[in-house]
């Protein structure tokens, strides 16, 4: 995919989450079963970077189970960040606006360096990074690889990266919401295999770019980013196959 097309699709998603952030947040009141499965494996002492933190559901769930260590959440949608800040838990947590494909490194360095409770993370890095329902919104293999390598740069050696990706093709209802590329002035030849354009019908009509992954594609991306895959499973939605989850571990050589 040409970078100019990827930028157009990123702009489409930015506009969607700015316009429909509040409506979207109202449909995300609880963590998904697959996320809950991952949270049940935590000890409460993990320092966490939540990429694409959205409305802060993860933070609220962690607070309920007694999490203690610092968490930093990044997202580019101000409406979602405002919802996250309003429901922050009692443990140390900070939310910052950042574009995950461009300026998140600069945002983290700037914001963490001025905060005594978090500045140590600039040296020690995070023990866990999460990206739930994020990677499938990044158009082009280049942007996805850059995102994963950026995550690797903020992890300690041996740290874990947990991600989930929407399996919208497993839902007949969602398949029916796939729109033609011509509706945004593009053609099938300008996008990559697995790319789709889905409509939104709550609080108005919107469009989002999404990409469909299978486990081998994610495993290839993990290896190219300096990770190895520890676990793969499906969860969420009717039939438990609407989300594809993987747990990656950062190699000591990468860190």
Give the bridge partners for 49, in sequence order: 72, 129
Over residues 45-73, mean pLDDT: 91
Is the model more confident about 202 or about 57? 57
- pLDDT value of position 49: 96
* 6, two tokens: 């990827």
Residue 135, CA distances (Å) to 30, 140, 232 in order? 20, 10, 15
Q: Is 130 helix (H, G, I), strand (E, B) or coil?
A: strand
pLDDT at 34 over 80: yes
**Beta bridge partners of residue 244, listed in sequence order:** 165, 234
177 with 198: CB under 8 angstroms? yes
Predicted pLDDT at 21: 64
Section 245-249 average pLDDT: 97
CA distance 248 to 231: 7
Q: What is the pLDDT confidence band of residue 3, given thresholds at 50, 70 and 90?
A: very high
Closest CA to 31 of 68, 60, 70: 60
- As a whole number, the mean pLDDT across the chain is 90
Query: pLDDT tens across 122-172, in order?
Result: 988 999 999 999 999 999 999 999 999 999 999 999 999 999 999 999 999
Helices (H), the chain: 3-19, 21-26, 33-39, 57-64, 78-86, 104-113, 121-124, 141-153, 172-175, 215-224
Q: Give residue for tokens 């919107």.
A: 206
Mean pLDDT of the 197-221 span: 91
Q: Percent of the chain, pLDDT > 70?
A: 95
Provide the pairing of β-strand 195-200 with 155-166. unpaired
Residues ≥6 apart with Cβ < 8 Å to 41: none
The whole-model pTM stands at 0.92
Q: Which CATH architecture has domain 3-168+212-250?
A: 3-Layer(aba) Sandwich (3.40)
Higher pLDDT, 6 or 22: 6
Task: State residue 253's pLDDT score.
Answer: 59
* pLDDT 10s digits, 214-244: 999 999 999 999 999 999 999 999 899 999 9
DSSP assignment, residue 116? T
Residue 208 burial (CB count, 10 A) = 22
Cα 86–chain centre separation: 20
C-alpha pair distances (Å), 172 with each of 164, 196, 237: 20, 14, 12
pLDDT over 90 at 83, yes or no? no
Q: What is the pLDDT of residue 25?
A: 56
Average pLDDT over residues 58-85: 89
Residue 26 has pLDDT above 60, yes or no: no
Q: Tell me the CA distances in angstroms from 100 to 29, 65, 204, 205, one per residue in order.
A: 23, 28, 26, 25
pLDDT value for 27: 59
Does residue 255 register a pLDDT over 80? no
């Amino acid at each position: 995919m040409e970078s100019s097309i990827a930028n157009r699709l990123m702009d489409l998603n930015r506009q969607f989450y700015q316009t429909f952030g509040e409506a979207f947040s109202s449909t995300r009141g609880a963590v998904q079963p697959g996320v809950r499965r991952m949270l049940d494996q935590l000890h409460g002492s993990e320092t966490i970077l939540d990429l694409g933190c959205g409305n802060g559901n993860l933070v609220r769930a962690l607070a309920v189970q007694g999490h203690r260590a610092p968490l930093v959440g990044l997202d580019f949608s101000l409406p979602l960040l405002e919802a996250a800040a309003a429901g922050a838990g009692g443990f140390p947590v900070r939310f910052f606006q950042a574009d995950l494909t461009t300026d998140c490194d600069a945002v983290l360095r700037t914001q963490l360096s001025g905060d005594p409770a978090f500045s140590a993370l600039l040296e020690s890095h995070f023990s866990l990074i999460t990206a739930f329902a994020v990677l499938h919104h990044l158009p082009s293999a280049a942007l996805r690889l850059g995102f994963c390598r950026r995550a690797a740069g903020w992890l300690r050696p041996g740290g874990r990266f947990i991600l989930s990706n929407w399996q919208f093709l497993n839902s007949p209802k969602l398949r029916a919401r796939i729109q033609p590329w011509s509706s945004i002035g593009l053609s099938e030849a300008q996008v990559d295999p697995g790319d789709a354009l889905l409509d939104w019908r709550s609080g108005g009509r919107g469009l989002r770019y999404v990409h469909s992954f299978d486990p081998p594609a994610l495993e290839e991306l993990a290896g190219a980013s300096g990770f190895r895959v520890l676990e793969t499973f499906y969860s969420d939605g009717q039939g438990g196959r609407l989300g594809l989850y993987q747990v990656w571990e950062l190699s000591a050589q990468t860190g």
